[in-house]
């Protein structure tokens, strides 16, 4: 693919960074439009995005280090050397959720209502991030048949091996996320309870990631249960069960409230 999209003099514009920028910009505009109805202004939304950025980086790195804790305990200097690369999405996700709960409450906004906006915004950044992964060659798939695979030939690509068909796992993940976004928009005015959209995002992506993870080529991230599940698959199962439990609880609670 295209790790570097173009350059302006000494400035190099990377494909991954460009896709993240587009996703964040769209998410920011969406959150600004919807949170204005709750009395928040652009500076408030900017503050929220800064908290999200910090949570994404810290959570993603902590979970990345936890994939091989012995390595980083014995070689702590590697933690700093690897800080610019290697992030685990679920680590970012699991830390950002409580941070946003705290932030929404601080601003006097019902977190359940706000998280439906955050679900669409977060999935948008996530989806464009996967397109960025495609351009950079990271999160690539295993070696496969030429008829179903894509070939990375740029020497700066993170894909391995180069010039060999690999499963297009980045495209699959992006399609799952765009489908989740479409579903959330479809249900936006039909939702039964607040928080439903965000929980749908968690459920859809957990199922999708569990499946696509089987075809991922970055097996060095490790496995659990004697190799039965990858780390991300195990976390996906946990996220699915938590989201499903909360979904049922919110549905039953809302139904009882409406019956009164």
Model confidence pLDDT, tens digit, residues 127-169: 999 999 999 998 899 999 988 999 999 988 989 999 999 999 9
Phi-psi map region of 191: left, alpha, beta (phi>0 left; psi -120 to 50 alpha): beta
The answer to whether 168 and 226 are in contact (CB under 8 A) is no
Pick the range with the lowest mean pLDDT from 6-20, 124-138, 162-176: 6-20
| 230-239 average pLDDT score | 89
Q: Minimal CA–CA distance to 97: which of 236, 211, 199, 203?
A: 199
Give CA–CA dist 185/197, Å, rounded: 8
- For residue 80, the surrounding DSSP H or E stretch is helix 77-81
The answer to whether 136 and 158 are in contact (CB under 8 A) is yes
Give CA–CA dist 83/74, Å, rounded: 16
Phi-psi map region of 92: left, alpha, beta (phi>0 left; psi -120 to 50 alpha): alpha
pLDDT of residue 16: 85
Confidence of residue 254 (pLDDT cuts 50, 70, 90): very high
pLDDT of 201 over the 70 cut: yes
For the whole model, what pTM was predicted?
0.88
pLDDT of residue 107: 95
Q: How far is CA 212 from CA 137, 168, 171, 173, 236, in A?
A: 16, 9, 10, 7, 11
Phi-psi map region of 193: left, alpha, beta (phi>0 left; psi -120 to 50 alpha): beta
Between 1 and 26, name the one with better pLDDT: 26
| 223-230 average pLDDT score | 74
Phi-psi map region of 216: left, alpha, beta (phi>0 left; psi -120 to 50 alpha): beta
Tokens of 233: 């698959």
pLDDT of residue 130: 94
Q: Is 135 exposed, middle or buried (0-12, 13-18, 19+ CB in 10 A)?
A: buried
Reported as a single tens digit per residue, the pLDDT across 54-81 is 999 888 888 777 767 777 777 777 676 6
pLDDT of 233 over the 60 cut: yes
Between 211 and 89, name the one with better pLDDT: 211
159 SS3 class: coil
pLDDT of 116 over the 80 cut: yes
What is the pLDDT of the chain when averaged over all its residues?
89
pLDDT of 35 over the 60 cut: yes
pLDDT of residue 198: 97
pLDDT of residue 223: 66
pLDDT of residue 93: 86
pLDDT of residue 222: 64
| 164-184 average pLDDT score | 97
pLDDT of residue 251: 96
Residue-level length of the chain: 260
CA angle 246, 251, 253 (to 5 degrees): 95
pLDDT of 82 over the 60 cut: no
pLDDT of residue 7: 65
Within 13 Å and on the Cβ side, how many CA atoms surround 232?
A: 26
């Amino acid at each position: 693919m295209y790790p570097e999209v173009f350059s302006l003099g000494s400035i190099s514009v990377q494909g991954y960074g460009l896709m993240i920028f587009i996703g964040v910009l769209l998410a920011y505009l969406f959150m600004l439009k919807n949170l204005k109805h709750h009395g928040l202004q652009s500076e408030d939304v900017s503050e929220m995005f800064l908290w999200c950025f910090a949570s994404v980086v810290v959570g993603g790195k902590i979970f990345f280090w936890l994939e091989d804790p012995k390595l980083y305990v014995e070689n702590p200097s590697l933690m700093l050397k690897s800080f610019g690369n290697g992030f685990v999405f679920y680590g970012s996700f699991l830390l950002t959720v409580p941070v946003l709960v705290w932030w929404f409450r601080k601003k006097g906004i019902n977190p359940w209502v706000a998280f439906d906006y955050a679900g669409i915004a977060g999935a948008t950044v996530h989806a464009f991030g996967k397109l960025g992964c495609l351009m950079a060659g990271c999160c690539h798939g295993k070696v496969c048949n030429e008829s179903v695979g894509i070939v990375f030939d740029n020497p700066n690509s993170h894909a391995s091996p180069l010039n060999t068909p690999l499963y297009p796992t980045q495209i699959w993940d992006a399609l799952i996320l765009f489908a989740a976004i479409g579903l959330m928009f479809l249900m936006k005015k039909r939702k039964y309870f607040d928080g439903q959209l965000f929980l749908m995002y968690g459920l859809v992506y957990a199922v999708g990631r569990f499946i696509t993870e089987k075809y991922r080529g970055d097996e060095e991230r490790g496995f659990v249960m004697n190799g039965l599940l990858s780390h991300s698959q195990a976390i996906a199962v946990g996220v699915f069960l938590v989201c499903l439990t909360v979904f049922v609880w919110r549905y039953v609670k809302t139904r009882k409230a409406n019956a009164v």
